[in-house]
Amino acid sequence: MPNVVVIGAQWGDEGKGKVVDLLTQFADVVVRFQGGNNAGHTLVVGGEKTILHLIPAGILHPGKTCVIGNGVVIDPSVMVGEIDKLKAKGAFQDERQLVISLDAHVIMPWHKAIDLAREQALGDGKLGTTGRGIGPTYEDKVARRGIRIRDLVDEARLARRVAERLPSAREELRRLGAASDLDEGAIVRQYAELGRRLARYAADASLVLHQAIRGGRSLLFEGAQGTMLDVDHGTYPFVTSSNTVAGNAATGSGIGPTEIDTVIGISKAYSTRVGGGPYPTELKDDIGEKLRQIGHEFGATTGRPRRTGWFDALALRYAARVNGFDGLAITKLDVLTGFPEIKVAVAYRLRGKVVEEMPCDIEELGRCEPVYETLPGWTEKLDGVRAWGGLPQNARSYVERLAKLVGVKVMGVSVGADRGETILLDNPFKR
């Protein structure tokens, strides 16, 4: 059975959760492999909105197994809260649906305190972090001093690990001029209780996934954030602290790369980003504000208004290259309804020259001015359209042009927020 990876092709917030939720009906296991609760999926099913930050979008489908891999960093209080909210809504009634890797790292109170203190110290040079401790947790992981789920579920082990790490965390907070009065005993008690709540889900996720594949079950891998926020391949340093590209689906879950059959990139029909960093097609005018309001472009996790702009074909070609996209899903096509004309960046102007590939140097990218191609818009509403042929001709032409510019075929088009408002042109699970 095929195994499919879904990746954000832009700066995050592309609607990956909606696509994953749609494709889950064809998969058996849904896997989250990186990031933390700095990400958020907004799902609308039957008009009811659900926002998830850690648990894979597949949890809304009874009978589907949801796995949080070793590449994810977990705030246990957020995880417990998310579980409780889902159960209160009548979802996630079967405890066997959720598996949390014993090797996933845990966000501790000092990680959040350090994250906020560092961002404040940067002043005007802020990176735009969410302040949820994601970066410092990944730092501890790489420095081999992190606390993992396997530590969290063993109180004696947790106490030792907290005692080892807390003194240096306090010292850093003092150096940053922040409060450093973290109570060791209180932290151990609080997190040991959270560990007891989560222990029933903790397992060797790599083995669980291996057994699922050998049993002929299909896996759907769910990325967080987007390609341009990848710590290696994004607009560094204005990036997240993990690898968001498709290659990390294997590393962050414990399977071999040869087990992946298809990689799908998710892109809005325009573009958005949150936080600082270069963004060549950004619109700081009335059109940008119109896109923000119509598209409800405010962060699912932070509520921050997103920066908005036209579709950037160079950024998408780059994303297709570093991920190896087999296809694209275009979301929020309906947001462009009513725009008399729609622009697409087909090149940049840099130092008087026209370039057709995105510069890998962030300073050079910041100097780029987009070269636009203008396409005709449409006025027909798309919310009731359920087939490709039902889209207005100009809408179809726009999507076809995007596919040609990126060099990747379109596998699906979203025309609304609800689960059912997606036109699936090519199902990767039925080939």
**Which of the residues are catalytic?**
13, 41
- How many whole angstroms separate alpha carbon 16 and alpha carbon 81? 22
Q: Closest Cα partner for 9 from 21, 19, 1?
A: 19
Decide: 101 and 148 in contact? Cβ < 8 Å.
no
Q: Closest Cα partner for 323 from 404, 402, 267?
A: 267
CA distances, 25 to each of 30, 197, 342, 410 (Å): 10, 29, 34, 20
Q: Closest Cα partner for 101 from 68, 79, 145, 58?
A: 68
- How many whole angstroms separate alpha carbon 146 and alpha carbon 58? 28
- CB burial class (10 A; 0-12, 13-18, 19+) of residue 65? buried
DSSP secondary structure letters along 320-361: HHHHT-SEEEEE-GGGGTT-SEEEEEEEEEETTEEESS--SS
